[in-house]
Structure 1
Amino acid sequence: MLLSASEPIWSLGPDAVVAGLLSAPEGLSGAEAALRLERFGPNRLPPPKRRSLALRLADQLLHFMAILLWVAGALAFAAGTPELGLAIWAVVLLNGLFSFWQEFQAERTLEALTHALPLQVRVWRDGHLAEINAAELVIGDRITLEEGDQVPADARLVSATELSVDLAVLTGEAVPVARHAEPIPPDGPAMPMRERANLVLAGTTVAAGRGEAFVYATASDTEFGHVASLTAATERGASTLERQVGRIVRTITTIALLMGLVTFGLSLLFVGMGPLESLVFAVGILVANVPEGLLPTVTLALAINVQRMARRRALVRRLSAVETLGSVSVICSDKTGTLTCNRMALQATWLPTEEPGLDLELLEAACLCSNAYLLRSADGLRSIGDPTETALVQAALERGLALETLQAEQPRRRELPFDSRRRRMSVVVQHGEQLLLLTKGAPSELIGLCRAELTGRGAVPLDDEGRRRAAAANDALARQGYRVLAVARRPGSGSLLTAPAEELEQNLTLVGLVALYDPPRPEVPEAIRLCHQAGIKVTMVTGDYGLTAQAIAHQIGLLDPPIGAAHPVHADPVRVIQGDHLDQISDVQLRQLLRHRSRLVFARMAPEQKLRLVRSYRSLGEVVAVTGDGVNDAPALRAADVGVAMGLVGTDVAREAADIVLTDDNFATIVTAVRYGRSVVANIAKFLTYILASNVPEILPFLAMVVLRIPAALTVLQILAVDLGTDLLPALGLGAEPPEAGLMRQPPRPRDRHLLDRHLLVRAYLFLGLIEGALSLSAYLLAWQAQGVDALTLRHLAPSLLDGSAGADVLDLQHQASAAAFTTIVLGQLGVLLACRSERQPALSQLGLATWRANPLLLLGIGAETLLTLALITVPPLAALFSMAPFPAAWLGWMGLTPLVIVLADDARKRWWHAP
């Protein structure tokens, strides 16, 4: 700690704090800050400890499927075929290395995306307020804190206005604790630093109010840094996708073991093979059933889609959220900045009486009762702060009111910050010889606190008729989609500086109403339409007035009638629910409302009400995505299946609570993210079908050997060549497929639906796999037939081929026939690949050049498998290793029909299955 004072920092007055930190009242200069940054290092904690790379590699080599293959390799050694055992073990090793590399790359991608949204902090440098990366903060910096900010370092408060801080990160209790700027006697009772009321500590969150503080500790020297090493990290539970993949692995492994045992028994009992030979074929069946490329393909599919979503301004903080997005059935969206442009502008004002000059008094009071400020730059003056307040400041500038002059002439003496429950903000300013209270907030609450209204003659009593006129004006403006604020004032004496809030904001004089308009984002109506088309309910949840929220909801097509309706907007008590009405509804009634009504708007919602809404939706089995940007949104973001925070205007605590951060704060980006979430799930089903389909033609030769007493059409090495050679890149290509055109016209995927369901198994094994297997086995038999060997002669040749006593000419024919069967499987997988690109669209409709340009990895996979197949058959060393030989080119004529047969058969199935 850089502190020259002899007393603890909490016991020093503001001037002594500045001197002790060798700083200045206006903060550090840029040059001094750079020197301190070089000396003390960045304000960043060391990265969290992770499992060592060796242990993480071991995870990939010792999971359930890998152990099965290790055992299979050992059995191959026991059967006297060490070359087969080595090949299987090499498969396990290569597969583990590939999966490890993909996971490592995905982790690095996520870290890079996290760094794309660094924590920002407002700090005084060279006498001006600036915004910098929190990592650049140094001891002695003067920082400004407001509601929703995460405290970036340990700091001593020098000013505080109704400031309270959430210490949950240090204490575990999410109860706001008041903070002040007064010195604490050094001889007081001993207590932890977090209980010193004039300190704010790194990692905590400003729950309410505002303040300024000087940094006295950064990085590992903070209290958070001290306890970080002692805090046990919560063990992350398995995500839905991880559980689904685990279930797939267990199911397929069980199938493989059962098939292996059945094959071993059949070959031993009915074919007359010896125990060791039977064991070799059982190992072949087992290997044929294991989709070795499954796990790396899943990892790569997730990584590719995370990067795609990032390019479309949706940063994924948790990989499991990608899969959950595919099942989202309800989106609870806030309004301002998400459904609207977050470009507030003053549209209209209302005054109790239309007299000259009163509109300027209204703007003057509204600007003084705000925390927006002006920033001078090369481009001129621009206002910084809350969009509502900056719109008021901008309007004042356009009317010739100088904010800096106003603030100098009427300095602030006290502030009651905006509170989401009070729905208003108040300040006390020095107005000449007297004090003046200025209040702005929600008209529905503020008008009721007024006892007078401002006219050209001064304040006159406000009767019931006057309140009705003001309320009617508020409603008329709100029906146009305007956000309306009431502005009031009250002159007084020194008691305004000490009176409690509930007494201070009484007996006010209504100055008028200001109406601001934040236009809907132009792309939102189409996004809303896509959600409704996709069976996703969209519910607006906002703190705005009900009529304002309803008007915007009509303009974006969220409520009926759609945009362009001829009749005016009227309140719909069923579709628009205000927070006070929600409190009168029981949980049972709320669930009934949510079950039977869509296109709802919840207005004037408090944080606990938003949380209740999310929990009610989830209790109905809905998969809920929630958007939010404030500290009060954090509970709902955590409770949702997918929390979505705003990256531009969102608070730090909202980002930390969320699974996804939108860098453009745009509702349409959420819809895009849902589309990619659905695509991830769909792509996993696609390449799973593709991988499993090839198992059948790999198994069928061994079953045919038992039933027909013919030689096996494939060897175990040839099966491995398909699974980890020709199949791998095309499977990865299917995992990288862009979202299908009709993906958002389907209903959300049920939460409890398994990826490996009966439909997928039937399609892979009993339809595509059987067709491909039959064609492959037919190619094997036709190859013998083309060489003049009929089925009866082939059965006589089987024993010599099985025990290795066959002559060279017979072996050459067997190698040619095996190459024909192998090539037919590869060609069949090409047909399966085309069929699996869409669950609904015919494969023949997707052969256009544009569809291939969208996924070059698929073309790369097809090219790679073609070249590899040619190499395995025509390159002598490889052909000898994999027991294949070149066959006459004329055979390709009838073998080349294989993909066409599969595509036509599957297109017919699609038409029948999806027929209306």
Structure 2
Amino acid sequence: MTHGASATTALLLSASQPITTLSLEDALAALQSSSQGLTQFDAEQRHEQFGANALPPARHRPLLLRFLDQLRHFMALLLWSAGAMAFLAQTPALGWAIWSVVLINAAFSFWQEFQAERTLAALTAVLPITVRTYRDGAIQRVPIAELVPGDVIELEQGDQVPADCRLLAATGLYLNVSVLTGESLPVLREPAQQQRLLSTAEAMNLLPAGSSIAAGHGQALVYATGINTEFAQVAQLSAGTERSRSTLELEVGRIVRTITALALTMGGLSFLASLLLVKVSVQESLVFSIGIIVANVPEGLLPTVTLALALAVRRMAAERALVRRLSAVDSLGCVTVICTDKTGTLTANAMAMQDTWTSDEPLLLLAAGLCSNATLEVGDSTETALIKGALERGVDIEQERPQFPRVQEAAFDSERRMMSVLVHWQADRRWSEPSEWMVLSKGAPLELIGRCTHWLQAGEISALTEASRSLAISANDVMARQGYRVIAVACKPSATAELHESNLILLGLVGLYDPPRTGVQGAIACCKQAGIKVTMVTGDYGLTAQAIARQIGLLEGPLHGPVDPLRVIHGYDLDRLSDAQLRQVIKFRSRLVFARMAPEQKLRLVQAYKALGEVVAVTGDGVNDAPALRAADVGIAMGRSGTDVAREAADIVLVDDNFSTIVSAVRQGRAVYQNIRHFILYVMASNVAEVAPFVTMLLLRIPAALTVLQILAIDLGTDMLPALGLGAEPAQLEAMQQPPRRTTEHVLNRAVLRRAYLVIGLAEAVLAMLGYAMVWARHGVDLAGLQDLAPALLHHAASPQLMAYQREAASVALGSIVFAQAGAVWACRSERLPAWSAALRLRPNALIWAGVGLELSAFVLLQAWAPLRQLLQMAPIPSQFWWWLLCCAPAVVLVDGIHKRITNLRSVRSL
């Protein structure tokens, strides 16, 4: 038994039976608590005794094994093999160099992965995970980790139960215990003591940690926390479950396999060709084939992918979007439809009372406030606005509540669209007729008015005729056209303590306004430009939803105009549509508003979009949104107003509940994919230039312009940092000026291969070989002469003077590739814009500047430091060839710019 379990047992020693079978008073006494909870001093003492209310940290794969994982993927195994071949070819220096590449690459990949994991772990601390707890007799918001046995907490619909609890009071409370039982249907929970011992999941008066409140609300007594909860045992069983691989990870794996196959094929063919055609020795042929293999391996691919994902997660966090699943970063780049809530997402979540329609405002506001569960500071935004609005108009609900004690409650649900309470009604000047009980109701106007038979007019109760009913509905429409959320309020005196929501008396309407968020209109416009459909899905009245949609630019038309039936679809109209008809509606209309939507209808809408092949992002905040969040390709929960259940079901949590943050997250998702594509383009282009010396050796029977060590110097010494700069490119504005990429589109597509092999790579290869040829021409050796010298140079049997010329020529070829790559990195920043336009329009990237600076500095160091120059078999470059190197960068930029110009013109003509 753990120390925490022993301490809990000590607290319960006064009880002679399990907590489920105790009365409420005995349960509180057993935990040395009261209905007002603990004092702050007692809570702190118990926190020291029991520890934090948190699960033990998940067990991770040991660091050593995780490092070894980086040494055995396809590309690592390929380089291990190439190093072994170098040892067989009796070139140990080359073998050690190749193996060093594997180790350095593995170390960098491991470090990036470790940092990414730490970043994700740190971000979870940002989520506002608190619980309403009684401390020193007052309700406070306390971090869940600070809960202790004996705490008394308040729970409502959508909350996750933070610890094992005994229910003290409940109103229509239904619990989702699927985390323990697998049963998805909510079960009723009541506070009454049990007569027999049942399991935690089965006992009617227990709320196990990890379960969630599906409906209603209640008050509960914490009796077990942290590792002593039943949920902790379940969590430990699932701790070793491996996550599925994301689409991006699968795509990178495909690229690795493709490049590996290409490298092995070219290496094998070069070995046979050099052995049979060039007639070099087996040892030399093996060295050349190793060169081909090494030249085709993008050593920085995996660390760059990890870096791109880690930076995207950090940047999204800085923009208030917390990623819970890395796969969502990739999916965001493919999103074609965003189904978004209105309140708090498109609006500022600053609900305030704007207007009332009533003949007796004090009574209207009193009834609305008493039929609420919020306080001035804590609760649903609509109810809090009612309480604050009433106070501003002279009705202090918190002072009034003790005079009208609540007896019963019928909680709000999405089908009735209303809430009612039964209260003791004392003699009150605001209600002339004496009554012991009073039913108070508030809810959606059309639904609530439909349950009313009378209305209060000039202090008199009159029958609600068709004319007066139409008058009330017209008043509702006038408010709704201004974008107000309209709440109807009614009452009914009762001679018995029974709550019936019929034959009500309409007291009036309250208009609440939540203004659009700053920046949402621009975000909507950005989505349109990016080819993303935005659909508003709300439970609000159609006129209210349309008014807000027009204010933010989602819909066109006059702000106070009638409902547009082609754009605003009500839930009851949706029910009349078959699945095929619904798909037709959403297929050909890009800007839609779905009003008065029930949770099951929201799920149906998401499924309809997905059936059309759309990639759907869905926002949600309530427990009823969880099915739609799970069904979506990207589920996005609200961090401030969202429930725990919604956050658990989501892939991304918005800390600020802001629609603009979704657009920023989509931009980051697109940037990750683009950055990886740009990096691969850059690396493969240099691979073409690195392979070219060996191909020309076979075709023209000349010496190889580069050695394998020189290729490694490019890949690891000069290319790596600019490549990482491309992988860390900030999200560019142009990312949102193109339609979403298709989910079937590969990173390594025809356009990338064409640019890498036939444009940038070919340009670099030509520049490298021209530089190599010019050095020999300077020494009076033409192609025929070079072919004659090839056997002696290949077998290292040439004179020292000729070997010095070969090193000089190789140095210029190497420098040509390095300087060409300095231009290529700028060309690769954009798929459409020439480098000179991209430099002006794209955001500056300090990492690329630093990478290029270090790349050129590294080459200068190779030239200046004699020991390193000798190791790589290089020679000082004659001064007259430095101008050639300086021309290589702009030459590549120019060639790529011409190609982009031709491609863009073809695209325009094809439209």
Task: Summarize deviations over 1:716-760 as a string: whole Å, max 9, x none.
Answer: 111111111101010010111122232212111111111100110
- Structure 2 residue corresponding to 1:509, chosen from 500, 505, 512: 505
Query: Given that residues 439 and 494 in structure 2 are in contact (C-alpha distance below 8 angstroms), is that contact kept between their aligned partners in structure 1?
Result: yes
- Structure 1 residue corresponding to 2:543, chosen from 528, 544, 547: 547
In structure 1, what is the equivalent of residue 349 of structure 2?
342
Q: Which amino acid aligns with 1:729?
A: L
Q: Please say if 1:259 is aligned against 2:255.
A: no
Q: Please say if 1:663 is aligned against 2:655.
A: yes
Task: Summarize deviations over 1:829-861 as a string: whole Å, max 9, x none.
Answer: 01111111111122123445x967x32111111
Query: Given that residues 780 and 821 in structure 1 are in contact (C-alpha distance below 8 angstroms), is that contact kept between their aligned partners in structure 2?
Result: yes
In structure 2, what is the equivalent of residue 731 of structure 1?
723
- Aligned-partner Cα distance in 2 for 1:114–1:807: 67
Query: Given that residues 740 and 838 in structure 1 are in contact (C-alpha distance below 8 angstroms), is that contact kept between their aligned partners in structure 2?
Result: no
State the 1:772 CA deviation: 0.5
- Aligned-partner Cα distance in 2 for 1:226–1:252: 45
In structure 2, what is the equivalent of residue 401 of structure 1?
395
- Structure 2 residue corresponding to 1:280, chosen from 279, 284, 287: 287
In structure 2, what is the equivalent of residue 704 of structure 1?
696
In structure 2, what is the equivalent of residue 157 of structure 1?
167
User: With structure 1 as the length reference, what TM-score do the two structures score?
Assistant: 0.95
Task: Summarize deviations over 1:540-583 as a string: whole Å, max 9, x none.
Answer: 0001111111111111111123xxx4x74211222111111111
- Aligned-partner Cα distance in 1 for 2:177–2:56: 21
State the 1:587 CA deviation: 0.6
- Structure 1 residue corresponding to 2:254, chosen from 244, 247, 261: 247
- Aligned-partner Cα distance in 2 for 1:49–1:602: 45
Q: Please say if 1:229 is aligned against 2:230.
A: no
- Structure 2 residue corresponding to 1:761, chosen from 742, 753, 756: 753
- Structure 2 residue corresponding to 1:523, chosen from 513, 516, 519: 519
- Structure 2 residue corresponding to 1:877, chosen from 860, 867, 872: 867
In structure 1, what is the equivalent of residue 32 of structure 2?
22
- Structure 1 residue corresponding to 2:452, chosen from 447, 450, 453: 450
Stretches (4+) displaced over 6 A: none
Query: Which piece of structure 1 moves more, 781-790 or 226-235?
Result: 226-235
- Aligned-partner Cα distance in 2 for 1:172–1:398: 48
User: With structure 2 as the length reference, what TM-score do the two structures score?
Assistant: 0.96
State the 1:26 CA deviation: 1.0
Aligned with 2:408: secondary structure?
strand
Query: Given that residues 636 and 652 in structure 2 are in contact (C-alpha distance below 8 angstroms), is that contact kept between their aligned partners in structure 1?
Result: yes
Query: Given that residues 732 and 842 in structure 2 are in contact (C-alpha distance below 8 angstroms), is that contact kept between their aligned partners in structure 1?
Result: no
Equivalences for residues 793-804 of structure 1 within 5 A: 793-804=785-796
Q: Please say if 1:807 is aligned against 2:799.
A: yes
In structure 2, what is the equivalent of residue 689 of structure 1?
681
Equivalences for residues 455-470 of structure 1 within 5 A: 455-470=457-472
State the 1:234 CA deviation: 4.5
Query: Given that residues 520 and 556 in structure 1 are in contact (C-alpha distance below 8 angstroms), is that contact kept between their aligned partners in structure 2?
Result: yes
- Aligned-partner Cα distance in 2 for 1:608–1:405: 39
- Aligned-partner Cα distance in 2 for 1:601–1:847: 40
- Aligned-partner Cα distance in 2 for 1:407–1:807: 104
State the 1:118 CA deviation: 4.7
- Aligned-partner Cα distance in 2 for 1:232–1:405: 49
Q: Which amino acid aligns with 2:833?
A: Q
State the 1:113 CA deviation: 0.8
- Structure 1 residue corresponding to 2:628, chosen from 636, 655, 661: 636
Query: Given that residues 200 and 207 in structure 2 are in contact (C-alpha distance below 8 angstroms), is that contact kept between their aligned partners in structure 1?
Result: no
State the 1:55 CA deviation: 2.4
Aligned-residue RMSD, C-alpha: 1.4
State the 1:493 CA deviation: 2.8
Q: Which amino acid aligns with 1:694?
A: S
Equivalences for residues 360-439 of structure 1 within 5 A: 360-374=362-376, 383-432=377-426, 434-439=436-441
State the 1:32 CA deviation: 1.0
In structure 2, what is the equivalent of residue 107 of structure 1?
117
- Structure 2 residue corresponding to 1:904, chosen from 868, 876, 894: 894
State the 1:460 CA deviation: 1.7
Query: Given that residues 43 and 136 in structure 1 are in contact (C-alpha distance below 8 angstroms), is that contact kept between their aligned partners in structure 2?
Result: yes
Aligned with 1:510: secondary structure?
strand
State the 1:82 CA deviation: 1.9
In structure 2, what is the equivalent of residue 891 of structure 1?
881
Gaps of 5+ in 2: 1-7, 427-434
Aligned with 1:271: secondary structure?
coil
Gaps of 5+ in 1: 375-382
In structure 2, what is the equivalent of residue 53 of structure 1?
63
- Aligned-partner Cα distance in 2 for 1:285–1:598: 51
Task: Summarize deviations over 1:57-96 as a string: whole Å, max 9, x none.
Answer: 2221111111111111112222222221221111112111
State the 1:254 CA deviation: 1.4
Q: Which amino acid aligns with 1:228?
A: A
In structure 1, what is the equivalent of residue 849 of structure 2?
859
Aligned with 2:70: secondary structure?
helix
Q: Please say if 1:207 is aligned against 2:205.
A: no
Query: Given that residues 128 and 640 in structure 2 are in contact (C-alpha distance below 8 angstroms), is that contact kept between their aligned partners in structure 1?
Result: no
- Aligned-partner Cα distance in 2 for 1:82–1:597: 66
Aligned with 1:418: secondary structure?
coil
Percent sequence identity is 57
Aligned with 1:401: secondary structure?
coil
Q: Please say if 1:618 is aligned against 2:610.
A: yes
In structure 2, what is the equivalent of residue 192 of structure 1?
199
- Aligned-partner Cα distance in 2 for 1:230–1:314: 30
Aligned with 2:798: secondary structure?
coil
Q: Please say if 1:333 is aligned against 2:358.
A: no
Query: Which piece of structure 1 moves more, 8-17 or 548-557?
Result: 8-17
- Aligned-partner Cα distance in 2 for 1:613–1:327: 19
Aligned with 2:441: secondary structure?
strand
In structure 2, what is the equivalent of residue 595 of structure 1?
587
Query: Given that residues 479 and 569 in structure 1 are in contact (C-alpha distance below 8 angstroms), is that contact kept between their aligned partners in structure 2?
Result: yes
State the 1:808 CA deviation: 2.2
Query: Which piece of structure 1 moves more, 617-626 or 801-810?
Result: 801-810
In structure 1, what is the equivalent of residue 430 of structure 2?
none
State the 1:287 CA deviation: 0.8
Number of residue pairs aligned between Structure 1 and Structure 2: 888
Equivalences for residues 759-798 of structure 1 within 5 A: 759-798=751-790
- Aligned-partner Cα distance in 2 for 1:726–1:231: 45
